[in-house]
Chains A and B, each alone.
Chain A
Amino acid sequence: GDSVTQMEGPVTLSEEAFLTINCTYTATGYPSLFWYVQYPGEGLQLLLKATKADDKGSNKGFEATYRKETTSFHLEKGSVQVSDSAVYFCALTTAGGTSYGKLTFGQGTILTVHP
């Protein structure tokens, strides 16, 4: 079956530091890839997505590139802010088969940014 593996957290950074959260996947079909963010006490919000190889998703200064050859979708941001403190989830969905577009999630990475 499909699976997503994220780097283990928690990740603690100082403001303006560079962020990388690693994400790799295995999928039986050709997946679409997502990063979701969960701020304290809130639901998941879509941060960015990519639907085919070499696509780069970007939003709010975050970026991730769909790398089919390494089955990866690492999240990066050049300069984090305190307001970026949240839990980040990598996820995939595949069309067809019996998944019907189910989202498969990684375990989540807690990011804390200090002033």
Chain B
Amino acid sequence: EAQVTQNPRYLITVTGKKLTVTCSQNMNHEYMSWYRQDPGLGLRQIYYSMNVEVTDKGDVPEGYKVSRKEKRNFPLILESPSPNQTSLYFCASRPTGERQPQHFGDGTRLSIL
């Protein structure tokens, strides 16, 4: 089954404790992206990757890092999480072609205390 898999689905942690949210896709997509969803704001892009070893900032990159060492994986790293990063996070991927729709994972709900 074609899918985007995120882990963990839920995480409660404390300020300053480094964490990584993993994302993996099995569709051989070149493009991957991370979004955060906040009430009243819709989804906003954090980082994206056009292909292996090619990443760039989205609209709200502060406080986040990413890497793309393999085509299928695109982890999101919070090196020193803060309460304002409490949110619902989605990973997405799409094939080559900027007008292609993106496929989303089921989301990761992070709570930073």
- Chain A interface (Cβ within 8 Å of chain B)? 4, 32, 34, 36, 41-46, 49, 51, 89, 93-96, 99-103, 105-108
Contacts and interface: CB of A to CB of B under 8 A. Distances in A.
B74 interface: no
20 contacts: A41-B106, A43-B90, A43-B107, A44-B43, A44-B90, A44-B92, A46-B101, A46-B102, A49-B101, A51-B99, A89-B42, A96-B98, A100-B48, A101-B97, A101-B100, A103-B33, A103-B102, A105-B35, A105-B42, A106-B42
Given A93-B98, A102-B58, A107 B107 contact: no
Interface string B1-45: 000100000000000000000000000000101010000111111
B50 interface: yes
Contact of A107 (B42, B58, B98): B42
